[in-house]
Structure 1
Amino acid sequence: MQRLMIADTSDVVRKVGKRILSELGFLVSEAESSADVLRRCGVEMPNLLIVDAGMEGAIELMTTIRAMPNGNTVRIYYCVVEADLKKMMLGKRAGANDFLLKPFDRKILTATFGSLAAAA
């Protein structure tokens, strides 16, 4: 089973994402801050990570994760509110593999992650 972590300051976003992604077959964990993500990744690195661009220290978080043991194996989705090219390029340089537009719903999450859950 693929491990996926949702890093977002919003309880609602984390809960909704966890419910949908768990139904797709992921083992989902939640983190509400960059410090929380780093602590959890130090114990067990997820296969997939959704990082909210609005979370304090999001860029530094992705850079730090990439430098951790097995940090280069995690697929990072940088979650942005709008397709802001400057913000997306900063995310890409920090280590994001892909992007996710927020707010997301069941249709978006299924389209983005459905095949990854099935491949596990």
Structure 2
Amino acid sequence: METVNAIGRRKAAVARVFVKEAKKDGEGVITINKKELAKYFPSGILQFIVKQPLAKLGVEAKYDIKVNLDGGGFKGQAEALRLAIARALVKINPEDKPALKSEGFMTRDPRSVERKKPGRPKARKRFQFSKR
């Protein structure tokens, strides 16, 4: 199997993923910006978010994944990576799409920061009003 690539985005984060079959069976390494998953995301919750599509299909140890992560915060990066991994797994095996879609892993979350408007301190907040 050759390398399959996919892109996932969330807020300001962009994840570029390169998936190929693991050299040794039962290894399945995830490398993010030349660091191990546990080193890049020390939080167990973020590691769980990243591994969700793999766990749903039961293929955690089957693939080696290289990731280029850019922009955003930790949570946005983890969710962008989850989307990218899900898209790559569907490219490898299109029959997995319904299982991943039912869990919401194939959906790009459209929410992002609303822009600041002129004449206001933030997007919706107004300056303090004084009657007198």
* Same fold at TM > 0.5: no
Higher relative contact order (CA 8 A, sep 6+): 2
Q: Which has the larger radius of gyration?
A: 2
Which of the pair is proportionally richer in helix?
1
TM-score in terms of structure 2 length: 0.27
TM-score in terms of structure 1 length: 0.29
